[in-house]
Amino acid sequence: MERRDFLKVMGVSLATAASGALPQTFLDVAHASSVNAITRLPESDTARFAWTVDDGCSPDAVKAYINFVADNYLRLTFFVYAGVSPWQTQRKLLKPLVESGQIQLANHTMRHPLLTKLTTKQVQKELMDCHNFMERNYGIDAKPYYRPPYGGINAAVIDAAADIGYTKPMLWSGTLGDSGNIGSAKFMTLANRGMRDHGIVLGHANNMVAPNHFDRLLEIVNSRGLSTVTLTDAFGE
């Protein structure tokens, strides 16, 4: 993407977020090579990957994911963007799965900003506002896992987060490309590429693209003999 277009899209989504409406456009941008963020699972005896789902702008998608996980004995991690409503409206459905450990909640900030543009104090406030929301609504301590919005991370962000106990910055090894709308063929190509042993797969609960393909995603998981794990399953804390 051209820088000009990148800024345009970013401007739109940040402005929308600030107004309290659901942002329509998200980017998959990562700069993992230059910093110490985590993009893969550690070695294990079984073939497995972490299915991680960000944001939660669509109540229908959040609900569909919860039912999908429950019905198919999957394990999944939501990176909660606490500023959007489904994390409150779907709480009754979600909380039992969080309590059983089948679904893990991790930190994706309160307002979904680009953390690299913020001061240390602002980064910490973004994480702690989301942290406190999850503690209040789900009774959990979400540390140490967080994912920076847009994958925007640098050493200053990592240090600011680590100082308050968020010591595991999580990026991804493969993306489903569904932060905004994406065509079916492209989506399935990305899913086939991303769902692999040791993988950390990034999806989004912002639209119904993934739910509309759940059967086909499950087919990939099963045909490859993969199991799904939460971050706590994989990293042991």
* Range 187-191 contact pairs with CB under 8 angstroms and sequence separation of 24 or more: 187/213, 188/213, 188/216, 191/216, 191/217, 191/220
Q: Judged by CB under 5 A, which stretch of 29-37, 47-55, 64-72, 226-234 contacts Zn ion?
A: 47-55
Which lies closer to Zn ion via its Cβ, residue 55 or residue 233? 55
Which lies closer to Zn ion via its Cβ, residue 48 or residue 104? 104
With b for 16 or more beta-carbon neighbours within 10 A and e for fewer, the 196-232 pattern comes to: bbbbbbbbbbbbebbbebeeebeebbeeeebbbbbbb
Q: Is residue 178 within 8 Å of 211, Cβ to Cβ?
A: no
Q: Is residue 53 within 8 Å of 80, Cβ to Cβ?
A: no
Which lies closer to Zn ion via its Cβ, residue 31 or residue 218? 31
Q: Judged by CB under 5 A, which stretch of 9-17, 146-154, 156-164, 194-202 contacts Zn ion?
A: 146-154
Q: Which of 14, 23, 30, 55 binds Zn ion (CB under 5 A)?
A: 55
Q: Which of 54, 126, 178, 233 binds Zn ion (CB under 5 A)?
A: 54
Is residue 149 close enough to count as binding Zn ion by CB under 5 A? yes
- Of 38, 15, 6, whose CA–CA distance to 111 is shortest? 15
Which lies closer to Zn ion via its Cβ, residue 74 or residue 84? 84
Q: How far is the CB of 200 from Zn ion (least distance, A)?
A: 14
Residues near Zn ion (CB under 5 A)? 54-55, 149
